[in-house]
Chain A
Amino acid sequence: MKVIETEGLTKVYKGGQKPAVDSLDLQIEGGELFGFLGPNGAGKSTTIRMLMTLLRASTGRAFVRGYDVQIKPLEAMQQVGFVPENPGFYHNLTGRQHLNYWAELYGLDRPALATRIKKLLERVGLFEARDKLAKDYSLGMKRRLALAGALLPDPQLLILDEPSLGLDPQGMAFVRSLLVELHQEGRTIFLSSHFLGEVERLCTKVGLLSKGKLIRVDTPRAISQSVSDASELEIETRGVGLTIVEIVRKIDGVSRVELDRTLLRISGALTEELIAEINRVLIVNGVSIISSRSQEHSLEDAFLSLTKGEV
């Protein structure tokens, strides 16, 4: 089942020359942990705001759990947990009071509510601080409180806009492990993030947004491999001559060969077949190989390559 779907979703801001989001067609299946990536201003937050009924689309449609967000906003929002990029809190309410207030908005049953709030506070590590005013919380605590709020209706879909933004390493690790847990519980998670390493490690699928357009949707590995031109193979030998360098350079798929004393650095579309061919050529030509190490492309490489270094 498609949990999130958009059809030609477009947003042109008043006075804006170009669309912030341009004819976005996005489909996210249930159970995915989907990373929504893109440089600043690519349209990630605009897309999320349109999905969360916080922004009206100029054209196109967006569906959350099958409900058109413009036509059936309440139904669409009923089972979604949302954490905005900069969640705000009421200065005169404690963490627990915030959860009680949001629970009222979700129309949750009162009898079980206290227990549910207690469990959520424990889960996000805020139980001890439950009666402190939210204004006195650290940034990490505020984000965890927002996450607890998003989990109040026990949603099958979580939409998180930069959930790790501004957190210290411990805070980021906490959020990561919580997201893994939530995903393992069968929830669909749609998150935007600047932390490509985090997305690469966590997400089952990634969507790359550039200048308002969706340019790629795939698994992180597939996206990384799709830009393998930039990958590198390092082979430590007992010594090679320039003739060997020229022979390797002529192999189909190899774009560059460098010799650094006994170390050969080979760049190109380094598929498994090509690496095997390089090894075969070296051995046939009497090169003694001590070690071979191929450097995997990261999602960051792919991101930079696909977005052409756009920031």
Chain B
Amino acid sequence: MIIGVILALAVLGGTYAVTPGPISPTSVPKFVTYNLTYYPDLNATHPALAAFIASPTGDHLSGINVQLVKETGQRFGPTGTRFQLLQTNGTDSSGWVRFNQLWTSYPNSSLGLVYPDLKGSYFCCVSTAAAISPPYKNTGSATWHVLSLGDSSKETLSLVFTDLTGQPLSSADVLVWRVPNATSLPYPLEKGSPPDGWTLKYKIGTTDSSGFFINPLPYDSWAYLVHVRSVGLNSTFLFGSFYTTPSMSGPDTGLTFAAVLFVPTILPIVSLALAYDAISREKSEGTLDLLLSKPVSRLGVALGKILGVVGSLVVPLLIVVFGSAALVWGRAGTAPTGSLVFGLIGSAVYLALAYSLLFLAISSLSRSLGSALLSSVLFFLMFGFFWSLIAVLIANLAGPSGSVGWFQAITIMPLFSPTGVYQQLLSFFISGPVFGPNVSTEAPLQSPLPWIVAAATAWIIVPLFLFAWAMKYRVSQS
């Protein structure tokens, strides 16, 4: 009881602590830089550096200073970065700046670009230390950004498209395909396309004279395949991801943080504490004989145990979630999203039920109190902590990282853990970028909904059946 109150207070406190104050507009960067390594002469072996600079709303910016620097290994400047300034050039009227002849001017160097107006942000690096074997095939190359124009929950796409010699490719078509699910991701990505090919129905616009394109509409948090093509040249890349992550601004922050971190840790621990000895302690202390020799059905006793354990979890859970929502509202000044609150409650009730039934089944099948505790702790550690590692391990066995087999394994594996299923359910109610204060956490890749529903049902039905079976045919029966 005392531990439960402490844990509840910890969740409430944690949720409150990570919730930011009233929303202030997200600071919009002064400009966005697109960095590029290119080969001015395809038959020579000299890489060069270029940059394109635009305002976040898409205006080409001229006269912005860009510094060519060399890594020296010595401390340079107040930030302690080890650079030596070589040249400073400003962007031209089209927004481009180029640094050529690097091979001859700065041989055996590691060179990069610094943007003094962006607090010295740095683009690394091109090496002039070794010759690169020509000739090159002149391919397309797209450099792209995800832009959040003042609202971190809405992402938009911008890109610069050039050929390998660094020439901007104007009037290139930009096509976008929303990937239906993780298992549909092509491998390798650059050869991927929608099932019906890159037809014009996927076109969302064309690049301008600087090879620049900015998407006017924001995307939701999902994986898109972007294809840019000009005459004979094209480039395909993945924009966004299936990794759904909480918005860390606004009133949903704390709740999301609690949903992703606190709930899947604390709920299984509390259900373990409540359920592991529900039957095994009665067996070991002799109370079960008196209980089962009364005119009560064994399945009735099992149902009573389930209601007792789940009720002891769900009632405090509801108090904590609604309490957290109220705290968040008070701190952030606006109410958290209703679907998040109720999605969190639904997913957490599921988690409580799944783990309670699992530990009750273990309790009824164990020969002693000690073995019930040991088995429960092992299952908790495996599903609560080690499952993601096991999933990655199995995915790596299924195929190289990013391959279809890898994606299929990494998508399916969470369904074999109650915590994984909880995270999958939760991912329907959480949106936005993924990283929390001092913590980076990720929801798993989302499985197809029917799979999630099937797994969630199985995690209820199987332990329930085992528990009922053990109560009827095993406990004080053999």
Smallest distance from the beta carbon of B297 to chain A beta carbons, Å?
6
Which of A74, A82, A146 contacts B297, CB < 8 Å? A74
Quick check: A102 and B294 within 8 Å, CB to CB?
yes
Q: Is B133 an interface residue (CB 8 A)?
A: no
Complex contacts, B282 vs chain A, CB 8 Å: 88
Which one of A49-57, A227-235, A281-289 is at the interface? Answer: A49-57
* A102 CB to nearest B CB, Å: 6
Query: Complex formed: what's the CA distance from A14 to B473 in Å?
Result: 14
Contacts of B286 in A (CB 8 A): 84, 86-89
B24 interfacial by beta-carbon distance below 8 Å: no
Cβ contacts under 8 Å, B290 to chain A:
82, 84, 87-88, 102, 146, 149
- Given A56-B477, A56-B478, A88-B290, verify A105-B285 contact (CB < 8 Å): no
Decide if A77 is an interface residue (CB 8 Å cutoff).
Answer: yes
Contact for A84 among B293, B295, B297, CB less than 8 A: B293
Task: Kindly identify which residue among A13, A54, A78 contacts B295, using a CB–CB cutoff of 8 Å.
Answer: A78
Complex Cα spacing A87 to B295, Å: 17
Chain B residues with CB below 8 A from A102, complex form: 290, 294
* Chain B 281-323 interface 0/1 with A at a Cβ cutoff of 8 Å (1 = within): 0100111111111111100000000000000000000000000
Mark contacts of B228-247 with chain A using CB atoms, 8 A cut-off: 1 yes-contact digit, 0 otherwise. Answer: 00000000000000000000
Q: Which A residues are CB-close (under 8 A) to B184? A: none
A203 to chain B, nearest CB (A): 22
B138 proximal to A (CB < 8 A): no
Whole-angstrom distance between the Cβ of A81 and the nearest chain B Cβ: 9
The answer to whether A74 touches B296, judged by C-beta atoms less than 8 angstroms apart, is yes
- With a cutoff of 8 Å between Cβ atoms, the chain B residues found around residue A53 in the complex are 292-293
Please determine whether A82 and B296 come into contact, CB atoms closer than 8 angstroms.
no
A106 touches B294 (CB 8 A): yes
Distance to closest chain A CB from B473 (angstroms):
7
Pairwise interchain contact B295-A107, C-beta atoms closer than 8 A:
yes
Residues of A within 8 A of B294 (CB): 77, 102, 105-106
**B295–A106 touching, CB < 8 Å:** yes
Flag if A82 contacts B293 (CB, 8 Å).
yes
| Bound CA span A84–B296, Å | 17
> In the complex the two chains form, is B289's CB within 8 Å of A88's CB?
yes
In chain B, what residue has the closest Cβ to A149? B290
Chain A residues contacting B478 (CB-CB under 8 Å) are 13-14, 55-56
Residues of B close to A87: CB separation below 8 A: 286, 289-290
- Asked if A90 lies at the interface with its beta carbon under 8 angstroms from chain B, I say yes
A1-42 CB contact bits vs B (8 Å, 1 = yes)? 000000000000110000000000000000000000000000
User: How many residues on chain A are close to B (CB under 8 Å)?
Assistant: 28
Interface 1/0 per residue, A107-149 and B, CB below 8 Å: 1000000000000000000000000000000000000001001
| Residue among B290, B292, B476, B477 having the largest count of chain A Cβ atoms under 10 Å | B290
User: When chains A and B are docked, how far (Å) is the Cα of A13 from the Cα of B292?
Assistant: 20
Residues of chain B lying within 8 A (CB to CB) of residue A78: 295
Whole-angstrom CA separation of A91 from B287 in the bound complex:
10
- Chain A 67-98 per-residue mask, 1 if CB under 8 angstroms from chain B, else 0: 00000011101101010101111110000000
Q: Chain B residues with Cβ under 8 A from A13's Cβ? A: 478
Interface residues of B in 456-478 (CB under 8 A from A): 473, 476-478
| Contact A88 B295, CB 8 Å, known A55-B477, A56-B473 | no
Contact: B296 with A88, CB < 8 Å? no
A252 and B3 CA atoms in complex are apart in Å by 82
- Mark each residue of chain B from 357 to 385: 1 if its CB lies under 8 Å from any CB of chain A, else 0: 00000000000000000000000000000
Which residues of the partner chain B approach A86 to less than 8 Å between Cβ atoms? 286
Give B382 Cβ to nearest chain A Cβ, in Å. Answer: 29
Chain B residues within an 8 Å CB radius of A55: 476-478
Nearest-neighbour CB distance to chain A for B56, whole angstroms, equals 64
Q: In the complex the two chains form, what is the Cα distance from A106 to B296 in whole Å?
A: 8
A105–B282 CA distance with the chains assembled, in angstroms: 16
CB distance from A147 to the nearest CB of B (A): 12
Most buried by A among B286, B289, B296: B289
Closest to B282 in A: A88
A265 to B178, CA, bound (A): 109
Most chain-A Cβ atoms within 10 A of its Cβ — which of B282, B285, B292, B293? Answer: B293
| A80: chain B residues within 8 A (beta carbon) | 293
Interface centre among A13, A74, A91, A107 (most CB of B within 10 A): A74
Chain A 163-176 interface 0/1 with B at a Cβ cutoff of 8 Å (1 = within): 00000000000000
Chain B nearest CB: distance from A75 CB in Å?
Answer: 8
Q: How long is the Cα–Cα vector from A102 to B290 in the complex, in angstroms?
A: 9
- How far, in angstroms, from A56 to B290 measured CA to CA in the complex? 16
Given the interface contacts A55-B476, A56-B473, does A89 sit within 8 Å of B287 by beta carbon? Answer: yes
Decide yes or no: A74 and B287 within 8 Å by CB, A54-B476, A88-B282 being known contacts: no
Contacts of A82 in B (CB 8 A): 290, 293
Residue of B nearest to A13 (CB): B478
A89 proximity list for chain B (CB < 8 A): 285-287
Decide: A54 and B287 in contact? CB cutoff 8 A.
Answer: no
Interface residues of A (CB under 8 A from B): 13-14, 49, 52-56, 73-75, 77-78, 80, 82, 84, 86-91, 102, 105-107, 146, 149
Other CB < 8 Å A-B pairs besides A80-B293, A87-B286, 20 of them? A52-B289, A55-B476, A56-B473, A56-B478, A75-B295, A77-B293, A77-B294, A84-B286, A84-B293, A88-B285, A88-B287, A88-B288, A88-B290, A89-B286, A89-B287, A91-B285, A102-B294, A105-B291, A105-B294, A105-B296
| 13 chain-A/chain-B pairs, Cβ below 8 angstroms | A52-B289, A55-B478, A56-B477, A73-B297, A77-B293, A77-B295, A82-B293, A84-B290, A89-B285, A89-B286, A91-B285, A105-B296, A106-B295
Chain B interface residues toward A at CB < 8 A: 282, 285-297, 473, 476-478
The 5 closest A-B pairs by CB, nearest first: A88-B286, A105-B294, A88-B287, A88-B285, A77-B295
